[in-house]
Amino acid sequence: MLRLLLLAVLCCSAPALIRVPLRRERSMRSRLRAAGLLHDFLRDGSPDTFGRRYAPCLPPGTPLQLGRSGERLHNFMDAQYYGEISLGTPQQNFSVVFDTGSADLWVPSSYCVSEACAMHRRFKAFESTSFRHDGRMFGIHYGSGHLLGVMARETLQVGGLAVLNQEFGESVYEPGAAFLMAKFDGVLGMAYPPLAEILGNPVFDNMMAQKAVEEPVFSFYLSRSTSSTDPESELLLGGTDEALYHGPITWLPVTAKGYWQIKMDSVAVQGVSSFCPRGCQAIVDTGTSLIAGPTNDILSLQQLIGATPTNIGEYLIDCVRVSSLPHVTFVLGGTEFTLTAQSYVRKEVLGDKQLCFSGFQAVDILSPEGPLWILGDLFLTEFYSVFDRGQDRVGLAPARHLAPARHLAPARHLAN
């Protein structure tokens, strides 16, 4: 009996592959547009309206202050893919964006005073027997709002996997339309520890330290549609699923351990090398809906694909012309990752009219290595993505719903 009991304990605590289903929802941008709030959101925001700014952690006793900021990543408003986690004992469930562009875990607190919190599930610390109070404060400054909260520790459950003593934030103040209309409750960051504002190990670091996963690897499959023929979107903790991608994985070394930052060889439009021909830096970011880049490059790119600006910062494309628009190719590790217009044009219905929007966004993020591009969900729905903490590298391969020969090829010489 004792042998069987020990075997059961070992089986329950053994490293595992954990699948976390992800749901795709209509983007926050389209929700705000339909509600007539997008113009006000863009007008009232800072110049980098979709920019995400984090304030340093404040020592105990320091009054909460708005506007303390240091540059981080962006486009929180358009995040679409989210899954379920639980915190506490007994478990309290929350929906979170699994975000490779940040490293903190936070959910709304039951003490939150904002209207946005009333629209979402809130963590009730007083109902959990495993809750550990911290008391330190943190602040995050968004382009059109602020997030303030206090830190704590708790037992976290992700896809049936338990993470003990996990540091996380309880938000107590969430102004702004982005939080009010978001379908998700909070964010679970999956970037490197230097990006964290909440002191302590990020979630995946704790998973590795507690030997909860088979390998120090996680991977994303982001479905492009709700079609029953496509596999459901998912995050896989502890490895990769070969059934969800075609061909070999292209591996790209991480160049700076904060974001999942890699070197991009160039960006080409219809086979002509148009941007960063001598190489530039890019971030692979599941928390960003679009593809972003330096303002000058993106404005030129919008012209090359025939996108015209609107008075609220959107770029429209004539839906009739989509089939004739040029391909846009990102060369990474000597391999071409090509997006057709069907991939980079977002079609949305407003009333009885269909509108087509460019999937490229101008965002200026500087780094010691130069301006950064951001490969967000629009790119990652086309390519299966693997994040390897063991060897500090990112892997990309054509997702299963694609024809591999059409979207991926060895890099050829591109004309200047």
Residues forming beta bridges with residue 200, ordered by sequence position: none
Going through 276-334 in order, the beta strands assigned E by DSSP cover 280-284, 291-293, 308-309, 315-317, 328-332
Q: Return d(Cα 335, Cα 149) in angstroms, integer.
A: 43
Q: Which residues partner with 283 through β-bridges?
A: 261, 374
- The residue among 94, 100, 96 whose CA lies nearest residue 82 is 96
Cβ atoms 207, 390 nearer than 8 A: no
Predicted local confidence at residue 53, as pLDDT? 34
What digits encode the pLDDT tens for the residues 374-410?
A: 999 999 999 999 999 999 999 999 998 754 434 455 4
User: How far are the Cα atoms of 245, 268, 340 from residue 402, in angstroms, in the given order?
Assistant: 9, 20, 12
Joined tokens for residue 329:
């190719």
In the chain, helix, strand, coil percent, each to 5? 20, 40, 40
Catalytic residues: 99, 285
Whether pLDDT at 48 is above 70: no
Looking at CATH, the fold of the domain delimited by 232-410 is given as: Cathepsin D, subunit A; domain 1 (2.40.70)
**List of E strands, 254-392:** 256-257, 260-264, 266-269, 272-275, 280-284, 291-293, 308-309, 315-317, 328-332, 335-339, 345-350, 353-358, 360-362, 372-375, 383-388
Domain limits of the chain? 18-209, 232-410
Give me the torsion for CA of 61, 66, 69, 72, rounded to 10°: 110
Q: What is the pLDDT of residues 22-42, one digit of tens each?
A: 887 655 555 555 555 444 444
Residue-wise pLDDT for 140-164, tens only, equals: 765 445 789 999 999 999 988 999 9
Average pLDDT of the chain to the nearest whole number: 80
**221: its two tokens:** 């499959």
**pLDDT tens-digit map of 273-304:** 789 888 999 999 998 889 999 999 999 999 99
Omega before 90 within 30 of 0, i.e. cis? yes
Distance CA 61, CA 68 (A): 16
CB 302 within 8 A of CB 372: no
Cα separation of the two ends of the chain: 73
pLDDT value at 353 more than 90: no
Is the pLDDT higher at 369 or at 130? 130
**Taking 50 as the threshold, does the pLDDT of residue 258 lie above it?**
yes
Q: Is the pLDDT of residue 20 over 50?
A: yes
Question: What's 392's DSSP letter?
Answer: T
- State the Cα–Cα distance between residues 86 and 39, nearest whole angstrom: 35
Question: Could you tell me the CATH superfamily of domain 18-209?
Answer: Acid Proteases (2.40.70.10)
